[in-house]
A and B are shown apart, each in its own frame.
Chain A
Amino acid sequence: MASLWRKLAVAVKLPQRAWILLVATAATGGRPTQSRAGNEISPPPPARVFTRPASRARAKSRREVSRLSKSLVEKYSGNNQFNPVALPLQVILSMPALAVRNLAKVYRNGHEALHGVDLTVTEGDFFALLGPNGAGKSTLIGIITSLINKTEGEVRVFGHDLDREPEAVKACLGLVPQEFNCNLFLPVVEVILNQAGYHGIPRREAGSQAEYYLRRLELWDRRGSQTRLLSGGMKRRLMIARALVHRPRLLILDEPTAGMDVEIRHIMWTFLRELNAEGTTIILTTHYLEEAESLCRHIAIIDGGRIAESVELGGLLGRLKTEAFVLDLKGRPARLPRLDGFALNPLDDHSLEVTVTKGNSLNGLFAALSRHGIEVVSLRNKRSRLEQLFLTLMEGKGAK
């Protein structure tokens, strides 16, 4: 019931967009037209291969959508009156890339890793699932990608129900797992060719797909090496190429840049941005807020197996009103000045906590401190921005 109201609320806000989507969906068979940008490395890979159950299911849903849209148009054409019952239907038909409802997981040892998770990711989004270690990110992803059995709840990927059409769901998904899971003794290119085969892509086509992605991820020169001989960064890129070989509509990456040096991390980010621009919906998990900030449009924060918040990133960061630093000082200051926009609080003889209100620059702080003869030796964040964000969110919850 509650969810119906939510859909209604969305429908009221979005009637126009919903109509556009509905028409676009009917016209293009469930997938908005998109151009896969050409790439200078090699010609763009061949068109999508007949994705088996997905294509049948899609054809069916296409028929349903066009039937429904026709009947809706007949019913309401020439009548601009807004109908609150018909519109939620259109929203449902526009089909999010991922819809997770009330997902719960209890591991065999009795550990409850997820408690009723709800999550929606729209098509084309770049979505971050942010949370500390042990929050349940990998568990959630494992369930979506059929690696872990769920205890309760519902997962839909582009409208396909995981229980009823597991193969259609899998055809839409590409997964880059948190830990390396390729056969250590297989040459790089065979890993990709095998994965293509599991997706029903004929060998010859698979060859050109493999070359395209291995070149793009700069692994083509290592195509004959056994995977165990690759460096950490290469292993990760190999798993990305493997996840992409069937051109999934939704790519899920579990901590793709954990333990990578900064340079490789940035190369990876650029690649993922391109991929998203070419039309692939991307979900990644991370515990670096910086990563989410720099890449994603929407984020969900997961903690203790619950989604604490799922919002647009800009809005969320806006809520970070203050940031706290710890300054290590040279010598003990005689007395602390009072400064506008900065709250100073001595921690011990040599360190000082400073809470900076948003909009104040640190330059001002340092200038004022030097004026008072206070010398700063080093500076660090008191909490990571992620922790700060959690605190802000939790405060907000407490106040309600």
Chain B
Amino acid sequence: MGHYRHDWIAFSTILRKEILRFSRIWVQTLLPSAISATLYLVIFGRLIGERIGPMGGFAYLDFIVPGLVLMAVLTNAYSNVVTSFYSSRFSRYVEELLVAPVPDWVILAGFVAGGVARGFMVGILVIAVALVFTRLQIHSYGVTLLVFLLTAVLFSLGGFINAVYADGFDDIAIIPTFVLTPLTYLGGVFYSLDLLPAFWQNLSLANPVLYMINAFRFGLLGVSDIPVGVAFAIILGVIVLLTLYSLHLLRHGVGIKS
């Protein structure tokens, strides 16, 4: 009994610390996504979007909103965990956790929850910005929230693994730049899959971000290039794999114990 209480206190301590961290430096952590979302909406949504015409049965601006929100959620979840956990390794204050009776899964859950919290805050900000340009309709609150949450969890886990292997602050920028951004842009934020030739359509199916964006778009707009059930199964599968792998890394002290 006391055991769960202990774990809960440790978990909420990590989460509180994470939230305080990104709130204190909000100019670096919360603001940039709001600004770039505004730019996307003005340039692609308004200026260019009007010439593009409808996409997937919706005005172009409305079509890109779900992708923009999710893009902000996933990049922020990822970079929160990768930066925070890598810093704690770099300055060695991760040792505070290692010497304390905090089980590995609580450490992981704390950092992931921190990433989810930041993803959530930024997601809300971007939605607020989008409301300036368009009226947001929500097809299914349940699906929307669930995709929101699962995406943030998945990318927080990715950030955690990146932080474990990173050998310098450069290494925590490499994956976001060379992997995350291309996958997101190619994951159908700005276009519907059926615009692509068959070959590229099939290749896109190997991109996990595609499933999240489509599931999220289904939540908001009720349209998706992919059956939502398949999307959920894939997202959950990836989360399970990343969780097991992260716990394995923690158990062996990879990157944190000599």
Shortest beta-carbon distance, B99 to chain A, in Å? 5
Indicate if the CB atoms of A53 and B100 lie closer than 8 Å.
no
27 contacts between A and B (CB under 8 A): A50-B5, A50-B6, A52-B101, A54-B101, A142-B258, A146-B99, A146-B257, A149-B252, A166-B101, A177-B95, A181-B93, A182-B93, A182-B96, A183-B88, A183-B91, A183-B93, A190-B17, A193-B13, A198-B10, A198-B13, A198-B14, A198-B96, A199-B100, A199-B101, A200-B2, A200-B6, A202-B9
Closest to A243 in B: B99
- Selecting from A124-132, A168-176, A294-302, A358-366, the interface stretch reads A168-176
Q: Does A76 contact B (CB under 8 A)?
A: no
B98 touches A147 (CB 8 A): yes
A197 in complex: contacting residue of B9, B92, B99, B253, CB < 8 Å: B9
Task: Give Cα A40 to B96, complex, Å.
Answer: 30
Write out the residue numbers on chain B whose beta carbons fall within 8 Å of the beta carbon of A52: 2-3, 5-6, 101
A108 interface contact, C-beta 8 A: yes
Residues of B89-120 contacting chain A, CB below 8 A: 91-93, 95-103
Given contacts A147-B257, A194-B17, contact A200 B99 (CB under 8 A): no
Most buried by A among B6, B7, B101: B101
Indicate if B12 sits at the interface (CB-CB under 8 A).
Answer: yes
CB–CB A149/B253 < 8 A? yes
Bound-state CA distance A28–B10 (Å) is: 28
Contacts of B10 in A (CB 8 A): 197-200
Q: How far is the CB of A81 from chain B (nearest CB, A)?
A: 44
Complex Cα–Cα for A292 and B91 (A): 30
A203 to B16, CA, bound (A): 11
Known pairs A171-B101, A197-B9, A200-B10; A181 contacts B3 (CB<8 A): no
Mask, B1-45, CB within 8 Å of A = 1, is: 011011101101110110000000000000000000000000000
CA–CA, A53 and B17, complex, Å: 24
How distant is B95 from chain A, measured CB to nearest CB, in Å? 5
CB neighbours of B6 from chain A (8 A): 50, 52, 199-200
A198 touches B92 (CB 8 A): no
Chain A interface size, as a band, is 35 or more
Contacts of B258 in A (CB 8 A): 107-108, 142, 148-149
In residues 190-207 of chain B, which contact A (Cβ within 8 Å)? none
| A166–B97 CA distance with the chains assembled, in angstroms | 13
| Bound-complex Cα distance A197 to B100 (A) | 9
| Interface membership of A377, Cβ < 8 A | no
B93 & A146 in contact (Cβ 8 Å cutoff): no
Chain A neighbourhood of B101, CB < 8 A? 51-54, 166-168, 170-171, 198-200
Nearest-neighbour CB distance to chain B for A155, whole angstroms, equals: 14
Contacting pair A184 B102 (CB below 8 A): no
* Interfacial chain A residues near B96, Cβ < 8 Å: 181-182, 191, 194-195, 198, 242
Q: Closest CB of chain A to B199's CB: distance in Å?
A: 45
Contacts of A50 in B (CB 8 A): 2, 5-6
What is the CA–CA distance of A53 and B101 in the complex, to the nearest angstrom?
9
Our count of residue pairs bridging A and B at CB distance below 8 angstroms stands at 96
Give A183 to B257 CA distance when docked, in angstroms: 18
- Interface positions of B (Cβ within 8 A of A): 2-3, 5-7, 9-10, 12-14, 16-17, 87-88, 91-93, 95-103, 252-253, 257-258
A88 to B158, CA, bound (A): 52
Across the A-B interface, the 4 shortest Cβ-Cβ residue pairs: A197-B13, A200-B6, A198-B100, A167-B101
Distance between Cα atoms of A110 and B224 in the complex (Å)? 55
Q: Which of A145, A179, A198 has the most CB of B within 10 A?
A: A198
Whether the pair B95, A148 counts as a contact (CB closer than 8 A) is no
A175 touches B99 (CB 8 A): yes
Are A56 and B3 within 8 A (Cβ)? yes
How distant is the Cα of A168 from the Cα of B2 in the complex, in angstroms? 13
Q: How distant is the Cα of A193 from the Cα of B95 in the complex, in angstroms?
A: 15
* A165 nearest CB neighbor, chain B only: B101
Question: Given the complex, which residues of A lie within 8 Å of B2, measured CB to CB?
Answer: 50, 52, 55-56, 200
In the complex, A246→B3 CA distance in Å?
A: 16
Closest to B253 in A: A149
Cα distance, A179 to B95, chains bound together (Å): 11
Q: A173 to chain B: which residues have CB within 8 Å?
A: 99
Residues on B with C-beta less than 8 A from A197 are 9-10, 12-14, 16
CB neighbours of B9 from chain A (8 A): 197, 200-203
Q: In the complex, are the beta carbons of A198 and B103 less than 8 A apart?
A: no
Whole-angstrom distance between the alpha carbons of A50 and B4 in the complex?
12
Q: Are A181 and B257 in contact (CB under 8 A)?
A: no
CB closest residue in chain A, given B13:
A197
- Which of B5, B96, B97, B98 has the most CB atoms of chain A within a 10 A radius of its CB? B96
In the complex, A146 Cα to B107 Cα: how many Å? 15
If A149-B258, A200-B9, A202-B9 touch, whether A195 touches B100 (CB-CB below 8 Å) is yes
Known pairs A56-B2, A170-B101, A200-B9. 6 more at Cβ < 8 A? A52-B6, A53-B101, A142-B258, A167-B103, A197-B14, A198-B96
Give Cα A195 to B6, complex, Å: 13
Q: How far is the CA of A170 from the CA of B103 in the complex (A)?
A: 11
Interface centre among B95, B99, B258 (most CB of A within 10 A): B99
